[in-house]
A = this chain, B = another copy of it.
Amino acid sequence: MHKRLFIPGPVEVREDILKKMSTPMIGHRSKDASKLQKSISGKMKKLMYTDNEILLSTSSGSGLMEGAIRSCTVKRAAVFSIGAFGDRWYKMAVCNGVQADKISSEPGQPTLPEMVDKTLATGKYDLITITHNETATGVMNPVEEIAEVMKKYPDVVYCLDAVSSLGGTKIEVDKLGVDICITSSQKCLGLPPGLSICSISQKALDAAKKVEFRGLYFDLLELYEYIKKKDYQYPSTPSLSHMFALDYQLDRIFEEGLENRFERHRKMAEYVRQWAKERFALFADERYASNTVTAVKNTRNIDVSELNKKLGEVGYVISNGYGQLKDITFRIAHMADTTLDEIKGLIESIDKIIM
């Protein structure tokens, strides 16, 4: 029996989207391939509220995160971490010999605008990375407030990991002044994993020009220049299957309506949080609780593996805690095309098991 996924990626993928993954192949140097990429670009710009160019990468979101920090840090990067994925971004800098410092928040807490301000006021940094939504802790950072602070630092390249939020919550890239906004297919976009997407600003491209060793596959400047020169085709063969599915799914997303989609995510999040507070507690500071994934503090000390096993019998899967939070939290994703009714069905099943 297939188990419906309520884990924070890969998410459950609708059958019509899965079918698009079976589209017969076309040449990646064909006019049809250019047309497909241009179609995706236009739609992604709309979803990201940006006029910046869109780059696709056949990789997980981690690939583009590594590409961003390596390609565009000229001097030194300030990596703001609120959990496992911020830590990973710092590790990417270290593994590439990119000068960087990590500024961590307490688990469950966000990156506060004053932390960004204080850090950048030193004048040491020309790039920052922010995790929009930390999948490990269920915290969503206050990016609007951070954007206000960033206005004071117009020369700093602003990279945003929106892997587990874009498509589920409004991220107005240009309004927020985000230079590189990164997401991937298997979270709120509701596709299988295997493709990542970013927007890139002229400021970020200009920074990349000053970096000597940017590698090749994740060199964002190379990708940008290549699609410009080659009519939106890629240096190496991209995952056309994902591109067909993404192009199709973006139309479904606009059919639903962006505001409706974000509202659906808000409602699902509120429902799960309400339940979590009644039965357990939230791991995240509630003021910054995520609209796409809830990390539940396991205050009843339930056996999450056992719970998942029993949920599996009725066709559901949730997620245990991530990394160091493995035993003290469990996580319920409410993202992509999941409906409030499906969330209610899941919660009812959990209650039947634990109550």
Mark A residues whose CB is within 8 Å of B.
2-3, 5, 7, 9-13, 18-19, 21-30, 58-63, 66, 70, 88, 91-92, 95-97, 184, 186, 192-195, 212-219, 222, 235-242, 317, 319
Cβ of A317: which chain B residues have Cβ within 8 Å of it? 27, 30
Copies of the protein in its oligomer: 2
CA distance A324 to B219 in the complex (A): 23
CA distance A88 to B317 in the complex (A): 43
CA distance A295 to B216 in the complex (A): 27
Find out whether the CB atom of A216 lies under 8 angstroms from the CB atom of B66. Answer: yes
Find out whether the CB atom of A235 lies under 8 angstroms from the CB atom of B62. Answer: yes
Q: Name the contact of A58 in the complex, choosing from B21, B25, B58 (C-beta under 8 A).
A: B58
Give min CB distance, A37 to chain B, whole Å.
14
Q: Main SS of chain A's interface residues?
A: loop
CA distance A217 to B65 in the complex (A): 10
Give min CB distance, A173 to chain B, whole Å.
23
Contact of A194 with B60 at beta-carbon distance under 8 Å, contacts A25-B5, A66-B215, A213-B95 already known: no
Find out whether the CB atom of A59 lies under 8 angstroms from the CB atom of B58. Answer: yes
Find out whether the CB atom of B237 lies under 8 angstroms from the CB atom of A60. Answer: yes
CA distance A11 to B28 in the complex (A): 10
Contact of A97 with B192 at beta-carbon distance under 8 Å, contacts A12-B25, A22-B19 already known: no
Find out whether the CB atom of B21 lies under 8 angstroms from the CB atom of A22. Answer: yes
Cβ of A63: which chain B residues have Cβ within 8 Å of it? 58-59, 217, 236
Name, among A22, A92, A237, the residue most crowded by chain B CB atoms within 10 Å (CB to CB).
A237
Find out whether the CB atom of B66 lies under 8 angstroms from the CB atom of A240. Answer: no
CA distance A3 to B31 in the complex (A): 13
Find out whether the CB atom of B97 lies under 8 angstroms from the CB atom of A213. Answer: yes
Cβ of A28: which chain B residues have Cβ within 8 Å of it? 10, 193
Cβ of A12: which chain B residues have Cβ within 8 Å of it? 24-25
List the B residue with the shortest CB-CB distance to A10: B25
Cβ of A222: which chain B residues have Cβ within 8 Å of it? 95
